[in-house]
Amino acid sequence: MIFKSRSSRFGTLIAVASLAASGFSSVSAETVVTVNGEDIDSTVFDAYLESRFQKPAAQASDEERTTVERELTDIYLLTTQPNAKELSEDPSIKAQIELQYRGTIAQAVARDFVASNPATDAEILAEYEAQLQQSPDQQYKARHILVSTQGEAQDLIDELKEGADFQALAKEHSTGPSGPNGGDLGWFSPDQMVKPFSDAVVALDNGGFSTAPVQTQFGWHVILREDSRENEPPTLESVREAIKQRVEQNKFQDYMQKLRDESSSDG
């Protein structure tokens, strides 16, 4: 499928960076509540609220704000107890604080990099055209029957050769989620399916079914190819945002690789 998502070890940083526009900002911090002499200002309050409810502080309800005030008060009550300072010197606690600090700063640096290096129109167009080149020429409409053994699949093929109805067999025998719908998989591109399955579909004629069981990691399949058509890729505008994020992710990955290379050469 064109422009499908791709997993990345940088996903967390990129996700945070891409949400920069929805991040909170405070022109001037004001004290919301004071606990044991420690002020909880509006910047801390809003940051906790947005993390807690995954929404901008300005959109929070009175009930959500009350919840945050209560929870932050409890946190500050505990962290201002006499033994809190002693506990904060424990090596394991210090390590957790260090990791939280580093993670927060790393996200801020990633966010700043993405904001400073946005995808240009030319880069978006180039990525779109590259994806078009990789997009399959055809889409297929198919049904399948999924069973656990090769023998079961072969028996079903024999029944089909004798004139049995594919949809009826799928409803009766298929263990896959499409079974109740007669094995209907709808329209798909070959790259949306595991390779042994897509190869088998491509090799069939419209209206033909597999004459040998097809094995994948899910089990054994009997496949009916119902129809085929030319693949119509999405317009640039319909996928512009997805491509923009992909380009910016690639830029960030290149940036991280550069930092690693520089760090290795310094060492």
Structure confidence at residue 160 as a pLDDT band (50, 70, 90): very high
E strand residue ranges, 104-183: 138-147
At 45, the pLDDT band (50, 70, 90 cuts) reads: very high
The CA distance from 127 to 122, in Å, is 9
- Mean pLDDT score, 136-150: 96
Whole-angstrom Cα distance, residue 154 to residue 212? Answer: 7
Higher pLDDT, 23 or 220: 220
pLDDT at 267: 59
pLDDT of 9 over the 70 cut: no
> Is the confidence at residue 134, as pLDDT, over 80?
yes
Closest CA to 17 of 213, 193, 181, 253: 253
Mean pLDDT in residue range 106-120: 97
CA pair distance 187, 195, nearest whole angstrom: 16
Phi and psi dihedrals of 193, rounded to 5? -115, 160
Which CATH architecture group holds 137-230?
Roll (3.10)
pLDDT at 172 over 50: yes
In this prediction the pTM is 0.62
pLDDT grade for 233, boundaries at 50, 70 and 90: confident
